[in-house]
Amino acid sequence: MKSSAVSSIISAEDSQKISYLRAFAIIAIVFGHIGGFWFYVPFSSYLYIVVPLFFFLSGAVSRISFNRTFSLKEYYGKRVVNLLIPYYLLCFICLIVYLSQNGTFPDFNLTKLNYWLQIRPIMDIRPFPVGQVWFLNALLLISIISPLYFVLLTRKPIIVLVLVVIFIGFSLYQQIYPDSLQIRLFGNDLYKPMIQSIFYIFGAYCFALPGNTRNRIMALTVLVCVSLSLLNVWAGVSIDLTDHNFPPTFYYVMISLMAVCLCYLLIPYIINLVKKLPLIDAFLKFCDKHTFSIFILHTLSIYLVEVSEVINFLPEKTIAYGILKSIVVLALTCAVSPLFSRISNTIALFAMRKLALRKQSTLARTNSS
């Protein structure tokens, strides 16, 4: 099923780059949801590029994981369990907060429950914002089809290139004819995962290349994307990335690809600088270790800070207020993230062991017969 042409081992240098990129990306996400996306538009809207960066890193890591596993069942088991367990823990937290707010259980029915189970939580019974979970929904859908991407990248990369070109073509169509492209399956939006697949595939492809070749590909991608982005601006396209984010457009794809490549090319220099600052280095390593938990929990922290009014002694919508809110939210999220990570990892490990035991039991019955 898998070719040995692609390594199942990631180099220490690549692992370090991924770790630091992931740490900076999650800090940017938290800052963005506190208000960073909107505090100085249109320029602050370019923080949205951290989402494609996450998909880029996920593609790189997932391809390595795919080449380490012995079967599709094992690969899917790890992907699905590691995505769904933290999300369902978040659902449990939502239920607790809802009960504390209203003194009663939410008005559930099978339709609403189905939405929540599919990582599409209903707006009217969210006790606090959990909009970030769209990323989990998209990543789950991409993960389902990812083995096909990985096999084709190894055996028929030209087919993957054609797919990427088609996806980019869809983004251009979306930009020319806004909101005209609706692609859904069982109620799930397939357009957004399709566009984010561009970055996922790009990460899977680039991290399988030798370092020098990868850098050249990245540099070339930056030049192409800068040229096409400037052409968009010359044609009168809005430079506010908020206008291109929901749903993603061609301008969004070009800017994001350019930013992802620049982040990758610059990260070695940033790492060298951070290594000279031990406290910042330790904090970034913590953020990398608990990235998923910080991602899941940070909107709860924002909610708690806002309802507690703990920093309301400062005028809202000021730089001082934004900085203090960012510090308090990040500190609160980091304080609870290790416990959340431990609980979700314990449950995930238990689930994986159950799946492994079931597999062994099935093999034993097959061999005995």
Write down the pLDDT at residue 362. Answer: 52
Write down the pLDDT at residue 359. Answer: 57
User: Residue with structure tokens 């930009």?
Assistant: 175
Write down the pLDDT at residue 6. Answer: 45
Q: For the chain, report the end-to-end CA distance as a whole number of angstroms.
A: 27
Is 5 among the domain residues? no
Rg (CA), the chain: 21
Number of domains in the chain: 1
Quick: pLDDT tens for 89-124. Answer: 999 999 899 898 888 888 878 888 888 888 888 777
Write down the pLDDT at residue 106. Answer: 83
Is 299 among the domain residues? no
Which secondary structure element, helix H or strand E, spans residue 300, and what is its range?
helix 291-308
Write down the pLDDT at residue 293. Answer: 96
Is 143 among the domain residues? yes
C-alpha to C-alpha distance for 15 and 70, rounded to whole angstroms: 22
Is 106 among the domain residues? yes
Is 207 among the domain residues? yes
Write down the pLDDT at residue 135. Answer: 94
3-state SS string over 11-68? Answer: CHHHHHHHHHHHHHHHHHHHHHHHHHCCCCCCHHHHHHHHHHHHHHHHHHHHHHHHHH
Is 336 among the domain residues? no
> Where residue 331 falls among pLDDT bands split at 50, 70, 90?
very high
pLDDT of 363 above 60 = no
User: What's the domain range around 102?
Assistant: 12-277
pTM here is 0.92
Is 320 among the domain residues? no
pLDDT of 60 above 60 = yes
Is 307 among the domain residues? no
Quick: pLDDT tens for 255-278. Answer: 999 999 999 999 999 999 999 999
Write down the pLDDT at residue 8. Answer: 57
